[in-house]
Copies of this chain bind each other. A is one copy, B any other.
């Protein structure tokens, strides 16, 4: 069994995430004094960011027609440069970490910010793996020849200019830059101010490696020097930026969704439910619940609420095992009655039904039917993933049809809702929205399509 995850500063990852958002969205640090930094898009900053989007657009045209061979060579060149120039990256990172330490940044956030030779090697390896994946650009989605002889093809093409707003995590800089390059997009980055030195070093190294590989250095640019005003300018750059990807905690994502006029790919929050049906096998249920809650509590496909059918014989054994594994149970009155004598628990409130703990906590409630479980899920779910554990075929079908989330699972751990596990290759994130992409997003979701229509002079009748 995997031991419960603990953080060095004793806070849960969810709590730390909020702090990270504040840090990323421009709370004052020694590295970024408020005095010189405007809080909304000022004209000068907006013009400067627009000038950057022009450079990104020009670069995106070259990238769009780059062959897979050239893009993969560039990805490998970036990987090699990261290894060769590791000392410069680590020196810049040490500066960011030191500034953070002086400012009292939590150990959890410092750990996310910190790079060491092992982590840099991991980033380089991820780029190598990306180079080995198929290129989504140019693949034909559908096509046919019309009766009048016109040939139609709908092919995948890059989106163009992708922007990302994220927290002080240098790995996201490499991650997003790699995904964008592979899918033929130019990218504009707004990383957390707390990682400014590291990100600047990374962007410089990427740019030099791109140029050596015959691609424009402008394919990866940063607006970090403009602080919050730069982020605001990016969010307002509709028509200049094709899509904006926020990466981070709930507050960061919701702020971007609310303020951006650029289309946003909303990823993330997973208030994931598992419904233990009356007919569920106790052993299967225990295995799935333990895996879904404990294997990696801080990620979005971890279960957060267990709904139990009032007639489920498996329930007490499952709850006993979860409690024994260190899971803190937040129970309603009927669920409390199912707990073995002496098992610690707290009463569940609406906050518990709503919350993505991202920690070893689990809300537990009892319902009398699949429909009642579906009602609860409709009220509280974030639309990420929901699972049923059952041996009843009709209930399984009812659950599949009734759940309106990106993924619905039957008798499998919710931890499988992941791009790599589902065979999509590299993952941009997990979309909880319905437009463009829903569920795990791979490289294809960073493309759009173009109709190519070829004839010999045909006109419409």
Number of interface residues of A (CB under 8 A): 68
Interface assignment of A439: CB less than 8 Å from any CB of chain B: yes
- A283 to B, closest residue via Cβ: B457
Interface of A is mostly: mixed
**Residue interface bits A421-446, CB-to-B below 8 A is 1, else 0:** 11100000000011110111000000
Give A454 to B265 CA distance when docked, in angstroms: 27
CA of A439 to CA of B156, assembled, Å:
13
A312 interfacial by beta-carbon distance below 8 Å: no
| A458 touching B150, Cβ below 8 Å | no
| Given A258-B261, A457-B287, CB of A451 within 8 Å of CB of B434 | no
A326 contacts partner chain B, Cβ-Cβ < 8 Å: no
Q: Does A337 count as interface, using CB distance less than 8 angstroms? A: no
Shortest A222–chain B CB gap in Å is 23
Q: Do the beta carbons of B455 and A411 come within 8 Å of each other?
A: yes
> Does A405 reach chain B (CB closer than 8 Å)?
yes
Q: Which of A169-177, A204-212, A412-420 contacts B (4 or more CB under 8 A)?
A: A412-420
Tell whether A449 is near chain B: CB-to-CB under 8 Å.
Answer: yes
Docked complex: A133-187 residues within 8 A CB-CB of B: 144, 146, 150, 152, 154, 157, 159-160
Closest Cβ–Cβ distance, residue A287 to chain B (whole Å): 5
- Contact among B159, B412, B415, B434 for A243, CB-based, below 8 A: B434
Cβ distance A138 to chain B, nearest Cβ, rounded Å:
10
> How far apart sit A258 and B261, CA to CA, in the bound complex (Å)?
7
Q: Chain B: which residue is nearest A448 at the CB level?
A: B434
Q: Which of A242, A405, A436 has the most CB of B within 10 A?
A: A436
Within 8 Å CB of A130, what residues of B? none
A453 x B261 contact (CB < 8 A): no
> Which listed residue, B404, B407, B455, touches A451 by the CB 8 Å rule?
B407
Of B146, B288, B416, the contact of A150 (CB 8 Å cutoff): B416
CA distance A263 to B407 in the complex (A): 21
Provide the residues of chain B in CB contact with A261, threshold 8 Å: 257-258
A102, CB-defined interface residue at 8 Å: no
Question: How close is A456's CB to chain B, nearest CB, in angstroms?
Answer: 6
> Is A232 part of the binding interface, using a Cβ–Cβ cutoff of 8 Å?
no
Q: Which chain B residue has the least Cβ–Cβ distance from A239?
A: B383
**Of residues A407, A411, A415, A459, which shows the largest number of chain B Cβ atoms within 10 Å of its Cβ?**
A459
Query: Is the beta-carbon distance between B281 and A457 smaller than 8 angstroms?
Result: yes
* B-contact bits for A225-258, CB 8 A (1 contact / 0 none): 0000000000000100011000000000000011
Judge whether A413 and B460 touch: CB under 8 Å. yes
Smallest beta-carbon distance A411→chain B, Å: 5
**Interface check A408, CB cutoff 8 A:** yes
Sampled A-B contacts (15; CB under 8 Å) = A64-B401, A152-B422, A257-B261, A263-B263, A263-B434, A290-B459, A403-B450, A405-B450, A412-B453, A412-B454, A412-B457, A413-B458, A416-B460, A417-B451, A439-B451
| Extra inter-chain contacts (17) besides given A410-B452, A422-B453, CB under 8 Å | A64-B404, A152-B423, A154-B439, A159-B434, A257-B261, A284-B456, A292-B459, A295-B460, A405-B450, A408-B450, A411-B458, A412-B458, A416-B453, A416-B460, A435-B448, A436-B436, A438-B449
